[in-house]
Amino acid sequence: MKKIIPLLFFITLFIFYLNSDSLIIPSTAIRLRIIANSNREEDQNIKKELKNKITPIIDELMSNAHSSKEAISILNDNKHLFQKIIDENHLDASISIGENYFPPKEYLGFNIPDGYYESMVITIGKGLGDNWWCVMYPPLCLIENEKKDNIDYHFLIKDIINKHQS
């Protein structure tokens, strides 16, 4: 049964991709958002460095989650790991786990509505810069390609399906 759920999710995404200009992310999804202090290049680089340091931890932790409730519990139980990275990098940043606001987003031609979503949000400094976000449970990170070209759209889906088939 656990192997079928991700497959059904991807089929649903594909159907919405063909028939809609809105992308529906499941209500049980847990999101991750990292907000830069500003849009200055230095602040955006700090955001990217932080993302690169915490996403391997997120990937490992979420591989143990079997429900969105369990995913939130895992995040809360391991908040100290993220705080340690923030402290080691001497960042003025805050972590919020729970219901957090996400602004509207256009992604791959889809409109993703704004709203309050179960998530972990890391805000660096004043949090006035562009943000990076993904869906960490189920593990479906919506990775933005910096150049907006040469994107291999099936790669992430194939990896997740293969992972859940074993």
- Interval 33-83: pLDDT, tens: 999 999 999 999 999 999 999 999 998 999 889 999 999 999 999 999 999
Among the listed residues 40, 73, 58, the one whose alpha carbon sits nearest the alpha carbon of residue 140: 58
Is the pTM value of this prediction over 0.75?
Answer: no
Give buried/exposed letters for 5-27 (b at 16+ CB in 10 A, else e). ebeebbeebeeeeeeeeebebee
pLDDT for 112 equals 80
pLDDT tier, 160 (very low <50, low <70, confident <90, very high otherwise): low
